[in-house]
Amino acid sequence: MRIFSGIQPTGRKHLGNYIGAIRQYVEGQDRGDPAIYCVVDLHALTVPFDPHALREHVYDTAAMLLAAGLDTDRCILFRQSDVPEHTELTWLLSSVTAHGDLNRMHQFKEKTARQRELVSAGLFIYPILMAADILAYNAHEVPVGDDQRQHVELARDIAVRFNERFGETFVVPEVRIPEVGARIMDLQDPSSKMSTTSASPAGRVLVLDDPKTIEKKVKSAVTDSGSEVRRAPDKAGISNLISILSVVRGVEPEQVESEFDGQGYGAFKTAVAEAVVEYLAPVRERYEEIRPDEKALEKTLEKGAERAHAIAHPIVDDARRVMGVGPAA
């Protein structure tokens, strides 16, 4: 079972990223043959960015993944731009990707609506680069949060269309989305997902927030005016906190509901805050140790890229060959 996932280089990963994706990466290390994780710096070029900050954020994100428990003896961790096959395959796949399919992508529409200056062509073809990331490794499984489901489905469609047109070349990947925690909601606006770009910083718990900040954010989470700790469509805020506690404690949401039955929101929020603080504390501590050593991080990424390249190179070569690109083998 080959596992592949990508994560954007940002300095500020939040609890949604951690619960929806990073937690799954760590778990995937023992199932993956291998598990391959990529910091997608080229995807970050599709919206406004600062070149210096971009490089720093790659280190921030790599350090975060290592602090979360990725172990490069058990997985491959690398920077997307270090393996040129990703960009080459993007171009090859663009010939079997329908313009209309790209136009339907929710994330493209959302990000377009937010751009004040330039809606780049890169933003439009972002999902092809993501398909190339996955298909270049013939990955079977792609662990992501719920917001990436549509992109992985497009990657599947692209693989199927390519295979039909040029012969069996790519594995058609399956998405892997956690049962609980696939969509952690904003604490201030529980009708939208917790996101790096949302308006209110109070709505997102950052993995590196100190305990006091986490406590404050969780305790001021928006809830309904009732008092029952149970999941319901009209109780988005409480339902979200139940999901969070259930993941962080490793128990079923039902167990959380019965434990807090009749206890009111105050006691419940206190328990959620404590559990999240405890959950993130070791990650923050390890991050503080790992992040300063940029040379070591660079070395780790470089070694990861060598291993990634060894897998992607023959697969992308096959794609070229069946398409009639370059000399016959």
Tokens of 154: 């497009």
Binder of ligand LTN out of 36, 40, 96, 221 (CB under 6 A): 40
d(CA 9, CA 38): 10
- Contacted entry of ligand ATP, ligand LTN, none for residue 173, CB cut-off 5 to 8 Å set by kind: none
Roughly how many angstroms between the first and final C-alpha of the chain, as a whole number?
28
List the x/- string, 175-194, binding to ligand ATP by CB under 6 A. -------xxx--------xx
Task: Give 12: exposed, middle or buried? Use CB within 10 Å, 0-12, 13-18, 19+.
Answer: middle
Within 41-60, the residues that bind ligand LTN by CB under 6 A are 43
Query: Smaller CB distance to ligand ATP: residue 14 or 235?
Result: 14
- Contacted entry of ligand ATP, ligand LTN, none for residue 142, CB cut-off 5 to 8 Å set by kind: ligand LTN
Closest by alpha carbon to 64, among 44, 39, 35?
39
Question: In Å, what is the CA distance from 126 to each residue of 90, 210, 292?
Answer: 9, 34, 31
- Contacted entry of ligand ATP, ligand LTN, none for residue 271, CB cut-off 5 to 8 Å set by kind: none
Contact flag: residue 148 with ligand LTN (CB under 6 A):
yes
Binder of ligand ATP out of 2, 3, 16, 243 (CB under 6 A): 16
Contact flag: residue 130 with ligand LTN (CB under 6 A):
yes
- Radius of gyration, alpha carbons of the chain: 21
Size of the site for ligand ATP (CB under 6 A): 21
Q: What's the closest the beta carbon of residue 19 comes to ligand ATP, in angstroms?
A: 6
d(CA 137, CA 140): 9
Q: What's the closest the beta carbon of residue 151 comes to ligand ATP, in angstroms?
A: 9
Tokens of 182: 């696939």
**Strand pairing category for 75-79 and 3-7:** unpaired
Tell me how many degrees the CA angle 158-44-125 measures, rounded to the nearest 5: 30
d(CA 174, CA 33): 15
List the x/- string, 130-149, binding to ligand ATP by CB under 6 A. --------------xx-xx-
Contact flag: residue 173 with ligand ATP (CB under 6 A):
no
Residues that bind ligand ATP (CB under 6 A): 7-8, 10, 14, 16-17, 19-21, 144-145, 147-148, 182-184, 193-197
